[in-house]
Structure 1
Amino acid sequence: MAACARTAPLLLLLAFSFAFAGSVTERKAEEFHVGVVLDLGTTVAKVARTSMSLAVEDFNAVHPSYTTRLVLHVRDSMGDDVQAASAVLDLLENHKVQTIVGPQKSSQATFVSALGNKCQIPIISFTATSPTLSSRTLPYFVRATLNDSAQVNSIVSMIKAYGWREVVPIYVDNDYGRGIIPSLVDALQQIDVHVPYQSEIDQSSTSEEITQELYKLMTMQTRVYVVHMSPSLGSVLFTKAKEIGMMSEGTVWIITDGLTNLIDSLNPSVVEAMNGALGVKVYVPISTELDSFTKRWYMRSRIDHPNDPTMKLNIFGLWAYDSIWAIAQAAEMSKVRKAMFQRPSSEKNLTNLETLQTSINGPALRKAMLQNKFRGLSGYFDLSDGQLQVSTFRIINVAGKGYREIGFWTARNGISKALEQKRSHPTYESTKPDLNIVIWPGEVTELPRGWELAVRGKKLQVGVVKGHYPEYIDADEDPITGVTTARGLAIDVFEEAVKRLPYALAYEYKLFNITGIASSSYDEFVYQVYLKKYDIAVGDIAIRYNRSLYVDFTLPYTESGVAMVVPVRESINKNAWIFLKPLTPGMWFGTIMVVIYTGVVIWLLELLGNNKNVDATISRQSMTSIYFSMFEDKEKVKRLISRIVLVVWLFFILVLKSSYTASLTSMLTVQQLQPTAHDVHELLKNGEYIGCGSGSFVMGLLEELGFPRSMIKPYHNPEDIHNALSRGSKNGGIAALVGEIPYIKLFLAKNCKRYTMIGPIYKTAGFGYAFPKGSPLVGDISQAILNITGGDTIIQIEQKWVRDKNSCQNEGSIIGSGSLTFASFEGPIILTGVVSTSSLLVALIMYFYRNKKIKPHHSDSEQISSHGENER
């Protein structure tokens, strides 16, 4: 009985424990239904399905006390948008799923996310990357992968670091492919990189159609390509590019993460065809959890996919795993117990879509999903903005049957070899990328130029004109052969620049016939480059703002600015007081004062030295001072200190005398040539006629300055200008010519003895060569021009064409000889003053010292004499 009494409480305790355990098990068995819509025939879906199964098992094992258990309902969309939508409707109506994972394609996700908004069911996709899908317009769409725009900055940073100026995107023509293009083009434009062409390839294109598109790209100049497409289409593209020779030396291929993230799953032959390409790949931090999961995943994959033993885990499998964890944690945080839906208020005459029920748990579940942040297998898993936040990419170089890592890109540090590398100057962009050595297509390590002539063997078409100034540009076309020959300063500079390029540039000249007004004809000539009739326009082409809107100019090869040419006239000065003009009034006054001061000092020095020739009376002081300061008379000046002052004074007089003589001579000879006008406003005020080049933009400039059109006369050649300037404004000619400095120099080289240049009076950019917008040749030719204009070559070319008569005496502005100012003789004057003053101070000290010493002796003598007298 006692034993039974002791075992009764134990049995009750065990019964209670089993009852409690049963209730806990019952609560733990609360199911949370999740729909999964994937293209099960693809590698991504197979990898993700295995990862999601492991994620459910791992989550339940780590959190045995959680009250919710995920149940996955997998459906196959079979790569069709309608089938994906149908699968979602089935899951919503028949299984009351509270969230949906997928669909796989961006085009499928668009409609499915709209259904999610209607039913308030979160749609979480780890593969839909198109930027057109946004949580702002589709609030129940959650992207557990990267927005394609997130990788744009890493791609653009590479392009900028390597210095390529033109890029052609190659993308699949669907929602996925088109989504990245706007952000990519915008980012390239911000770094001044041109996109001359966008290659769209239909997702159903055949191999022949892809080959034809590649041949079309070969006819273009650009050799930098950014490929954004699915692995299946990308495999065909690179295989064909290899076959036709586009994976050769000189080309650049950059692939987006849509291909690089699955590069391990591609056929080895495809990877070999991609050799030399660069790519960006999502960075996944290494961890022990990831290593353990990878081993378990491969073991499970052999069971789930026995027919695909070579299948490899990829980033999409990790995102699928972390997405399941995010859903499970959100379900627990939001305290979701059962699926609760609200039916429409009326179900009469409604379609199937309109009868869909609204989830009551959806808002809370979505909120918990966005607020939940954790460190998953793929890294820090943060969906707070409705999409995964990733700021680090690996930069890879495809080589052999795989790839090698050459660096990293982070939003904070940009491009670097090491992930944690510190940059001393974060804002500085080095011209040499901080990456490991790249093996480019063709198995070379030399950086590709990124462009080449469109078709090998084709020559660049260089447009030339027969200008009004043959010294700058002149051209002729052989009527029989049609060959154009060109000459002139512009041609010599261009040909010299081409010689200095680091590569060969084949070209031929083509003549453009100028008709009508020169300025408008030159506008038309430059416009031919925009129309792609010419690859380059060479000539005396002024770099103007309106022209720069549709072409790119090189740096100028001539001086810039607008100046004025006026006649010079003789101006013989017959002024009777011209002998006073060599010195300014201030200099005359200063000289007189120094003369008087020096004379007074010498007079005082001789007076203190008991010179008998010095009269101490005031009546003769002034005459004596002037005499001492102007003449050195050994009989008059006795003291050594006085003679020192005179030597310094004599030096000042000699310098002043020489300068005065030279200045007076200059005024009587050189100053005879003077310009007839000094300022364009002076001509406007006097109502003078003024000339300019025919059709030049200078005419518009003069009108802006206030000249009436009737007062402006256009001229075609230097002879007409010379005749007009010779006649003058009052005799039917002109008072001055206003033009561009290169033309003025040419005019003065022939007529320099009668005219001079005033100015420049207006700034312009000078002459340059025109290229199509974004042409990579602009930078190379500009660099060569800098090399030419910075040395002796440009001087030799100008002497050949412009300065062959280098005897011009008055080229440039004439400046008459000016009067001598006090500042010109500041040194000798100060020296004279210092020596005179110092000598006077020394003489005074000596005088007072001597008198003080003599005075006591005189007093003693007087006392002795007085004492002797008293004794007598």
Structure 2
Amino acid sequence: MEVACRIILLLLLTTSFVIAQSASREVVQELHVGVLLDLGSMVGKIARTSISMAMEDFYAVHQNYSTKIVLHIRDSMSDDVQAASEAIDLLEKYNVEAIIGPQKSSQAIFVSKIGNISHVPVISFTATDPSLSSRGLPYFVRATINDSAQVNCIASIVKTYGWREVVPIYEDTDYGRGIIPYLVDVLHEVDAQIPYRSVIPLSATSEEITLELYKLMTMQTTVFVVHMSVTLASLFFIKAKKVGMMNKGHAWIMTDGVTNLKDSLNPSVLGSLNGALGVEFYVPKSRELDDFTTRWNMRFQIENPANPPLKLSIFGLWGYDTIWTVAQAAEKVGQANNTFRKPGAKRNSTSLETLETSSNGPKLLQAILQKKFRGLSGNFDLSNRQLQISTFQIVNVVGNGWREIGLWTAQNGISRQSNKTRLATTHLGSVRDLNPVIWPGESIEVPRGFHIPVSGKKLQVGVCTSGFPEFVKVEKDHITGATKATGLSVDVFEEAVKRLPYAVPYEYVLFSTKDDGSTKDYNDFVYQVYLEIYDIVIGDITIRYNRTFYADFTLPYTESGIAMIVPVRDSRNKNTWIFLKPLAPGMWFGSVVFFIYTGVVVLILEFLGNNENVRGPIPRQLGIMIFFSIFEEKELVQRFLSRIVLIVWLVFLMVLTSSYTASLTSMLTVQQLQPTVTDVHELLKSGEYVGYHRGSYVKGLLEEIGFDRSKIKPYDSPDDFHNALSRGSNNGGIAALVHEVPYIKLFLANHCKGYTMVGPIYKAAGFGYALAKGSPLLGDISKAILNVTGGDTMIQIEKKWIGDQNNCQNLGPVSGSSRLTFANFRGLFILTGVASTSSILIALIIYFYKKKHRSKNITLDILNRPEDTGISDESSEHQEGNQGERVEENAQLAGREEDGLEEKTSELASDKK
């Protein structure tokens, strides 16, 4: 019994020893990690629950890991100094190897500097300030996206809806100010201006926010980008709804700082956001995410029973994935050789100077940067020391919820589907690429982006009297003091305003000039919009390059260009030799040449045909040749080819004769007016005098062309133009007046007879209206001007102020000539030439063929004659017999030829009778 007890005791001791040895081998190493959160904030509460669940989920999956991280959570209380103090405490007490979650960007800067000293990685999944850079903070890792990543998405929205001005509203913190430089740059890329920046202090009261909102209401811009923390944004939007800025016509875009927490907002706050657009990080859907969300909601309610329920946000997912990243890096690096080295003791040293330095920190940092995996938030890659830019989602707050409007990626721009491919361009997109939006005020109409404030002043329209009152004439009512403007330019402006899709109240304001329409005065006139004295200036204002530096111009409402007014004269001199004018010299020469050529061809054809009429002395043949070219006489022309040539020639003569008659009749009866000058360089070469409207920039253009100043004369009115042109350059006047096309049309409408327009000789943009740089009215007024000038309205306005231009035949240069040229009859010349040439070629071929055939027959006759040879009598007799037969055959053939000749002779004799 005693032995059995000893054996049992020995077995128990052995088993306990083995278990102890096994336990000693499976001891888990701990790696301490600090966590800094603002536990009183919405983000802090969400992140705390996510981090706790991440620890449980990770080690439930990786139970065999030998290194386990131990979290030490601290509350920074939304204070930068408190966050830094907690970080130092964690380093001194627990020798933490990493610090997770300095929640604010300002806190992250403090803590990251401490991490640089202690060589401890600092990983934040909420600090989005672009100024946080790994260059100055090598141990800082951003497990979230940079705020500047979303500005391209915002710019794409602005461009898609065609807004020209945007007002950013941001809190006065590092987080709020950090995004502004990037936002300004991308908005400039899409031609959107920032007329004003609204800065809201973090400690702003309700009254201060209300005053700022009233200030925004007095401005024209109605598109706002809000970038602030969720606490301040909630108060701001409640006040914005109260003052009426969440009504129809306004557009609001929220950055991801607010949009990411939209599901956790109070219903009253969410209701005040109705109609706003928001930008947020896009999280792809997955079964794991759905399961985690369900578990997270239950866990949060258990841990926070007294708090209002919050919803899982992207910050919670990033916190979850960050824990998994640090835990895997800790397992890879381990704690085997980790030591903390103390710096040398110094007198009066601070806590920062006495912090220990981790030998494991650099290795842990590299392991964190190398780890890539697909987490709950999507692809989690910190290799660039911050989360890589992915896809943004654009949402529209509707009622107490929201709906997806579209997606944005750097490769595809805006689209409805994430897999939609197109040419790579950041800001590409159109309204068709987005789902319909319910805008503030439950409107489906896209806000214009600006409005004329009800409480503000009317649109100030600058006007001044032109040197040509038909364009602008301004009068002052001495009783009421109101300014009244009339003229073509005024009517076009008023018609354009009527066609705007909204009401624009305006009033005319007089700008005094020298009343000569001088360029200097008009430059000053346009400059008034740059000085913000006028909102727009109208009149006969030429769109010039130097003026575009301080003003924007609408599309032109008149014809463009600079041309000349020159006298006209009858270009025909009706003298004795006018009958030669209908045909050009080339036509006369060609007709004579073909006249002779046709006669020669007919003469040769008849000569080859053995026509007795063409034989004889040369003078007689020349007369017959000319006779052939004019008449078709059967007695003289015997060959069929000759008749073909003469028929074609007769057709040519008929067409030429009728054309000559018509042209000569026109010369004798119709007045042919032509400009005295057709090229400005002719005036320059001949040293003629030219005129211009006094004060116009045309003088400078003439000097650039090369005219001497002494040859350039200024004039003040259309009557002065008429007097100078009528006198001419040699009698103290001018040979031409150089002016802008709209003024020339006005001059010719009143002085139609005797003048015409030549040109344009110089390009110009025409007349337009000038507005301040970046004015939101520019696009709409330009479209309205196109509507006016493209219809019958513009014709009626021009008739009213310029007159019916169709009644003037000289409005525009008379060009061209009624002379008949060789080119006009090229086809007929080719036809008669081909007929004549082909006929003579055919005749020559026939002639040489017959000649060759007759020569062959003669040769055969010679060869067949009897010769004196030593042949036997019998053979001779036989040959003589054959020869006799041939002689008889030749005689018969000759008889037939004689009979035929007699028949032809008798026929010819009868014809002659």
Question: How high is the TM-score relative to the length of structure 1?
Answer: 0.91
- Measured against aligned partners, the alpha-carbon deviations of 1:670-716 in whole angstroms (never above 9, x if no partner) come to 79755444433443444444332222222222333344545433333
Q: Measured at CA, do residues 812 and 728 of structure 1 come closer, stay the same or move farther in structure 2, by a change above 3 Å? A: same
Contact 1:116 1:140 (8 Å CA) reproduced: yes
Contact 1:566 1:675 (8 Å CA) reproduced: yes
> Matches of 1:17 and 1:668 in 2, distance apart?
136
Map 1:583-622 → 2, pairs under 5 A = 583-607=583-607, 611-615=611-615, 620-622=620-622
> Matches of 1:428 and 1:159 in 2, distance apart?
9
- For 1:21, the equivalent position in structure 2 comes to 22
Q: CA RMSD of the aligned region, Å?
A: 3.5
- For 1:367, the equivalent position in structure 2 comes to 366
User: What letter matches 1:18 in structure 2?
Assistant: I
Q: What SS does structure 1 have at the residue aligned with 2:832?
A: helix
* Aligned-pair CA distance for 1:2: 13
Q: Measured at CA, do residues 733 and 598 of structure 1 come closer, stay the same or move farther in structure 2, by a change above 3 Å? A: closer
User: What letter matches 1:314 in structure 2?
Assistant: S
- For 1:694, the equivalent position in structure 2 comes to 694
- For 2:889, the equivalent position in structure 1 comes to 864
User: What letter matches 2:446 in structure 1?
Assistant: L
When the two structures are aligned, how many residues end up with a matched partner?
A: 868
Q: Measured at CA, do residues 313 and 830 of structure 1 come closer, stay the same or move farther in structure 2, by a change above 3 Å? A: same
Contact 2:172 2:199 (8 Å CA) reproduced: yes
Q: Percent identity?
A: 63
> Are residue 469 (structure 1) and residue 494 (structure 2) matched?
no
> Are residue 725 (structure 1) and residue 750 (structure 2) matched?
no
* Aligned-pair CA distance for 1:510: 2.4
Q: Measured at CA, do residues 581 and 58 of structure 1 come closer, stay the same or move farther in structure 2, by a change above 3 Å? A: same
Q: Measured at CA, do residues 847 and 111 of structure 1 come closer, stay the same or move farther in structure 2, by a change above 3 Å? A: same
Contact 1:230 1:258 (8 Å CA) reproduced: yes
Q: Measured at CA, do residues 101 and 427 of structure 1 come closer, stay the same or move farther in structure 2, by a change above 3 Å? A: closer
Map 1:706-785 → 2, pairs under 5 A = 706-729=706-729, 731-785=731-785
> Matches of 1:117 and 1:312 in 2, distance apart?
35
Contact 1:671 1:816 (8 Å CA) reproduced: no
Contact 1:231 1:258 (8 Å CA) reproduced: yes
Contact 1:154 1:393 (8 Å CA) reproduced: yes
Contact 2:805 2:811 (8 Å CA) reproduced: no
- For 1:187, the equivalent position in structure 2 comes to 186
* Aligned-pair CA distance for 1:852: 10
User: What letter matches 1:523 in structure 2?
Assistant: N
- For 1:295, the equivalent position in structure 2 comes to 294
Q: Measured at CA, do residues 92 and 720 of structure 1 come closer, stay the same or move farther in structure 2, by a change above 3 Å? A: farther
User: What letter matches 1:25 in structure 2?
Assistant: E
Q: Measured at CA, do residues 645 and 437 of structure 1 come closer, stay the same or move farther in structure 2, by a change above 3 Å? A: same
- For 1:656, the equivalent position in structure 2 comes to 656
Q: Measured at CA, do residues 229 and 735 of structure 1 come closer, stay the same or move farther in structure 2, by a change above 3 Å? A: same
Map 1:665-704 → 2, pairs under 5 A = 675-704=675-704
* Aligned-pair CA distance for 1:307: 1.4
> Matches of 1:851 and 1:868 in 2, distance apart?
19
- Measured against aligned partners, the alpha-carbon deviations of 1:151-188 in whole angstroms (never above 9, x if no partner) come to 11112112212222222211112111111111112111
Q: Measured at CA, do residues 87 and 846 of structure 1 come closer, stay the same or move farther in structure 2, by a change above 3 Å? A: same
Q: What SS does structure 2 have at the residue aligned with 1:596?
A: helix
> Matches of 2:774 and 2:14 in 1, distance apart?
86
User: What letter matches 1:265 in structure 2?
Assistant: S
> Are residue 553 (structure 1) and residue 578 (structure 2) matched?
no
* Aligned-pair CA distance for 1:82: 1.8
Map 1:780-859 → 2, pairs under 5 A = 780-804=780-804, 806-815=806-815, 817=817, 820-840=820-840
> Are residue 264 (structure 1) and residue 289 (structure 2) matched?
no
> Matches of 1:343 and 1:709 in 2, distance apart?
88
- Measured against aligned partners, the alpha-carbon deviations of 1:54-88 in whole angstroms (never above 9, x if no partner) come to 22222222223333221222222211222222222
Q: Which moved more, 1:446-455 or 1:384-393?
A: 446-455
Contact 2:584 2:819 (8 Å CA) reproduced: yes
> Matches of 1:674 and 1:707 in 2, distance apart?
24
Q: Measured at CA, do residues 228 and 667 of structure 1 come closer, stay the same or move farther in structure 2, by a change above 3 Å? A: same
Q: Which moved more, 1:770-779 or 1:604-613?
A: 604-613
- For 1:31, the equivalent position in structure 2 comes to 30
> Matches of 1:589 and 1:569 in 2, distance apart?
29
- For 1:455, the equivalent position in structure 2 comes to 454
Give the unaligned 5+ runs of structure 2.
Answer: 862-884, 895-913
- For 2:494, the equivalent position in structure 1 comes to 495
Q: What SS does structure 1 have at the residue aligned with 2:269?
A: helix
> Matches of 1:838 and 1:385 in 2, distance apart?
87
> Matches of 1:599 and 1:228 in 2, distance apart?
98
> Matches of 1:307 and 1:778 in 2, distance apart?
56
> Matches of 1:710 and 1:366 in 2, distance apart?
82
Map 1:174-323 → 2, pairs under 5 A = 174-308=173-307, 310-323=309-322
Contact 1:110 1:133 (8 Å CA) reproduced: yes
Q: Which moved more, 1:634-643 or 1:124-133?
A: 634-643
* Aligned-pair CA distance for 1:371: 1.8
* Aligned-pair CA distance for 1:824: 1.8
> Matches of 1:214 and 1:10 in 2, distance apart?
85
* Aligned-pair CA distance for 1:756: 3.0
Which one has a bigger Cα radius of gyration?
Answer: 2
> Matches of 2:893 and 2:811 in 1, distance apart?
96
> Matches of 2:892 and 2:813 in 1, distance apart?
91
Q: Measured at CA, do residues 360 and 618 of structure 1 come closer, stay the same or move farther in structure 2, by a change above 3 Å? A: farther
* Aligned-pair CA distance for 1:260: 1.0
> Matches of 2:814 and 2:392 in 1, distance apart?
66
- Measured against aligned partners, the alpha-carbon deviations of 1:394-436 in whole angstroms (never above 9, x if no partner) come to 2111111110112211222222222223448989945433122
- For 1:380, the equivalent position in structure 2 comes to 379
Q: Which moved more, 1:465-474 or 1:55-64?
A: 55-64
* Aligned-pair CA distance for 1:761: 1.9
Contact 1:220 1:455 (8 Å CA) reproduced: no
User: What letter matches 1:623 in structure 2?
Assistant: G
User: What letter matches 2:557 in structure 1?
Assistant: Y
- For 2:392, the equivalent position in structure 1 comes to 393
Q: What SS does structure 1 have at the residue aligned with 2:155?
A: helix
Contact 2:46 2:312 (8 Å CA) reproduced: yes
* Aligned-pair CA distance for 1:380: 0.5
- For 1:60, the equivalent position in structure 2 comes to 59
- Measured against aligned partners, the alpha-carbon deviations of 1:353-381 in whole angstroms (never above 9, x if no partner) come to 33333333222222222221111111100
Map 1:383-532 → 2, pairs under 5 A = 383-423=382-422, 429=428, 431-455=430-454, 459-515=458-514, 518-532=518-532
User: What letter matches 1:81 in structure 2?
Assistant: D
Q: What SS does structure 1 have at the residue aligned with 2:433?
A: coil
Q: Measured at CA, do residues 596 and 432 of structure 1 come closer, stay the same or move farther in structure 2, by a change above 3 Å? A: farther
- For 1:624, the equivalent position in structure 2 comes to 624
> Matches of 1:102 and 1:811 in 2, distance apart?
80
> Matches of 2:527 and 2:159 in 1, distance apart?
29
Q: Measured at CA, do residues 751 and 6 of structure 1 come closer, stay the same or move farther in structure 2, by a change above 3 Å? A: farther
Q: What SS does structure 2 have at the residue aligned with 1:150?
A: helix
> Matches of 1:5 and 1:708 in 2, distance apart?
135
Contact 1:32 1:338 (8 Å CA) reproduced: no
Q: Which moved more, 1:301-310 or 1:11-20?
A: 11-20
- Measured against aligned partners, the alpha-carbon deviations of 1:237-290 in whole angstroms (never above 9, x if no partner) come to 221222222212222111111111100110111111111111112111222222
Contact 2:209 2:236 (8 Å CA) reproduced: yes
Q: Measured at CA, do residues 700 and 120 of structure 1 come closer, stay the same or move farther in structure 2, by a change above 3 Å? A: farther
Q: What SS does structure 1 have at the residue aligned with 2:431?
A: coil
- Measured against aligned partners, the alpha-carbon deviations of 1:510-530 in whole angstroms (never above 9, x if no partner) come to 222224772122122222222
Contact 1:168 1:196 (8 Å CA) reproduced: yes
> Matches of 1:90 and 1:492 in 2, distance apart?
77
Q: What SS does structure 2 have at the residue aligned with 1:209?
A: helix
* Aligned-pair CA distance for 1:541: 0.8
Q: Measured at CA, do residues 829 and 681 of structure 1 come closer, stay the same or move farther in structure 2, by a change above 3 Å? A: closer
* Aligned-pair CA distance for 1:555: 0.7
Contact 1:55 1:322 (8 Å CA) reproduced: yes
* Aligned-pair CA distance for 1:549: 1.9
